[in-house]
Amino acid sequence: MPLKNKIVLITGGNAGIGKATALRFSRQKARVIVIDLQSEIDPDLGAELEVAESDYFYFSCDVSNAQKVQDLFELIISTIGSIDILINNAGILGPRMKTESYSNADFERVIDVNVKGVFYCMKEGLKHFADEGQGVIVNIASVAGHLGMAGHMAYSASKHAVVGMTKTAALEYAKMGIRVNAVCPGFTKTSMLNSNDVTKEYKEALIAATPMRRFGEAKEIADAVVYLASPASSFMTGQSIILDGGLTAQ
């Protein structure tokens, strides 16, 4: 198992894609650090990590707060010793409405979490990786980082930013052997699809727009994340893998 004993930090790890990713790494016998807003780890996730018999840790942190992110990384490195792989998964969708009706506060909140949060974690992770001379970052972007997404101005803008940050960091750190890639999921079964803004009719429209006529599963996205974090993708950096059931092939 090439990921055995690797230390993997996953933001937004308590649910959805983050949760599936944590479980996937634990089954590879990696040591998993789950980060999320809640004060405690999701009980179901904790139980499943126990079954996997792999070390895991949980820390609460708001990734949109630069100082809290800096303090978190310092705490992890001082107590656990290192970080080998950083998965930036924390993100929010924001409300669905036309741009003219989108409030400044809602726009800023999405950017704070989805862009600044990723930047703050990348910054701290890259400091550590540069000192160590190695490391891997996988950012969770979206097909919305490659397409327009009517009704989701802030979300689409934020995911375009994540794709851009991924490419830029990959170029800056390639000579050091530090790899930075992104996974861009299409419409996936997560809590985002169960928000109040996502009606039954809207879900049906999303499925109809997807050539495979179904939503993706969180575990399918997690498989791609693990691939990008593993030696199997050792010559890949600055790339965005799209998993969207054929949506962007149309």
Q: How far apart are CA 52 and CA 214, in angstroms?
A: 29
Contact between residue 33 and residue 7 where contact means Cβ atoms under 8 Å apart: yes
Catalytic residue among 155, 173, 202, 227: 155
Distance between first and last Cα of the chain = 37
Dihedrals phi, psi of 9, to nearest 5 degrees: -100, 125
Residue with structure tokens 């599936």?
20
Please give the helix or strand (H or E) that residue 135 lies within, else none. Answer: strand 135-140
Helix (H, G, I), strand (E, B) or coil at 243: strand
Helix (H, G, I), strand (E, B) or coil at 58: strand
> Annotated catalytic, 155?
yes
Contact between residue 178 and residue 2 where contact means Cβ atoms under 8 Å apart: no
- Strands 56-60, 31-36: pairing is parallel
Q: How far apart are CA 107 and CA 154, in angstroms?
A: 5
Q: How far apart are CA 122 and CA 118, in angstroms?
A: 6
Burial of 29 by CB count in 10 Å (0-12 exposed, 13-18 middle, 19+ buried)?
middle
- Which residues are tagged catalytic? 155
